[in-house]
Amino acid sequence: MSGLVLSVRDLTITTPHGVDLVRRAHFEVGARELVLIIGPSGSGKTSIINTLCGLIDERDGEWKIEGTLSYGERVVDLSTSRSDMCGLVFQGNALFDDLSAGENVKIAADHAPKSAHHYDAGPIMSLLADIRPEQPIASCSGGQKQRIAIARTLIAGHPILILDEPNSGLDIISSRRLAGIIKDICTERGTPVLIAAHHVDDLLPLADKVLLLDTRSRTVRQVAPDMGAIERAMKGLDIEGEVALSAAESGAPAPEASAWRRSMRGGHPLRWFARYFAEYFWVLCASPFMLAYLGLGGAILGFVSMWFGFNYHSFGGYLKSILHDETLAGIGFVQTTISVPLIASILVVARNSAVICADLGNRTLSAQLPAMRNLAIPGLRYLVVSIFVANTLSLSLLTVAALATASWAALQTWQVFFPDQPMEFWQENYFRRLIEAGPALYAQLGWVGAKIALSSLLGSGAAILIGLRPKLSVVSINNAIAKAIVIGVSLTLLSHAFFAILQFWR
């Protein structure tokens, strides 16, 4: 493998708007070579590396891509196939912030091909020397995040490593140390490394070759790895449009290496579906906040139904006590089959649509989904299936919980009105119409189940589609959340109205 060369031939990339980024470009990256690709901001460097990694996003329109990518005996026709040979370290890292540092590495190992499990762990361990596997991503420094992202990509087993702006946001010392680590990995593993960079001062001393994306000729040409030569080459091109100290240096105790080695060992990938399902089930259903939220909604509905049902009965006066049993039976039937399922559905769909859309919007904005695809993780399948199943279970279980609290609140309110009545009277009449329905009770429960299922599926589907749309900023996520709530609740109201008409049609 040491003599293999990454070769790109006749690469042409045309955007959906008909703009040629490159035309018939050629370049090579040899084994153990660290190559920089540079160019003005907006020139198309990211589009080139996304093409090499098979991550071009077609949602904005159809890209026209031609050319071949070859490495050893493997040849990919880029006009008809997506490349899976290149592992990408994303700008911004695209780490999974709901997983710990160790889990970010472990999920890549579990989805890596078997052949990728035979590697020298030394270079990867050097990347992670000052990071604890259980450390949350939010508590990691910028340099630590960058190194976790590199380690995760290496473990995925791609023969070629590509980095997009790896030194952005790092100070000079951290950037130089990161460049040294990347060069060591390139040399020790015999891995071709291609780095798209805007600021090259810290990377240039270790670069074997510099490629310039020429925005005038729309091609890629080699320039000398010298700052003066690069500045002269860049001049005239117009375009519109911290690695922390090592444990030894800092004096900090090094984490137990065996913990990281366990993270690097491959396991069964389906455990990650269970992980995502458990995570969504907790936040969408089982969290104490959610249970209190639905319990309060059910209690208020039970109180209001009973209070106004008796205080403002259409007959009133002396007939209130005479029609007591019928009123109680009517309130129980309406609460159980109509009002509680409707209110529970509205509350759950509104809240969960916001949660789902916010979660997927964040994953979209931070490039976590393309990162999953590059790591061969079926992330979209894990997330979407988990959301649909967890949200449907959530709405079903929380509706039962809301029915229980509504019945309890109704009982307490009824006892205020009729303190002398025995509990048995309430039990006999509140559920009387359901009990008298006999076998027809299953049909009534079936209608309730259909309302819940359709509300959940439509609400989840709308939130997923809105959350997965491209996001440019946090503001776009906020707007998407508002849209998901409105659409989800509207679909819920329509679902309940539709099935209520069918349920009571005579």
Would the pTM of this model clear 0.85, i.e. be above it? no
First CA to last CA across the chain, in angstroms? Answer: 76
Calculated CA dihedral for residues 363, 365, 371, 374, nearest 10 degrees = 120
CB-based burial label for 440 (10 Å; 0-12, 13-18, 19+): exposed
Pick from 216, 234, 238, 215: nearest CA to 224:
234
Query: What would the two tokens of residue 168 be?
Result: 């952005």
Q: Could you give the CA distance from residue 495 to residue 450 in angstroms, rounded to a whole number?
A: 9
- List per-residue pLDDT tens for the chain, 506 residues long: 456 789 999 999 998 888 889 999 999 998 888 999 988 877 888 899 999 999 888 776 789 999 999 998 899 999 999 888 899 999 888 999 999 999 999 999 899 887 665 566 777 788 888 889 999 999 998 888 988 999 999 888 888 999 998 887 777 777 888 888 888 888 888 889 999 988 788 888 888 999 998 888 889 988 888 888 888 877 766 544 333 333 333 344 444 567 777 777 777 888 999 999 999 999 999 999 999 999 999 999 999 888 877 776 545 544 455 567 777 888 888 888 889 999 999 999 999 999 999 999 999 999 999 999 999 899 999 999 999 999 999 999 999 999 999 999 988 988 887 888 888 887 788 877 777 666 666 677 788 889 999 999 999 999 999 999 998 889 999 999 999 999 999 999 999 998 888 877 75
Domain 5-267 has CATH 3.40.250.10: no
Domain boundaries, the chain: 5-267, 271-503
- By the 8 A CB rule, do 360 and 467 touch? yes
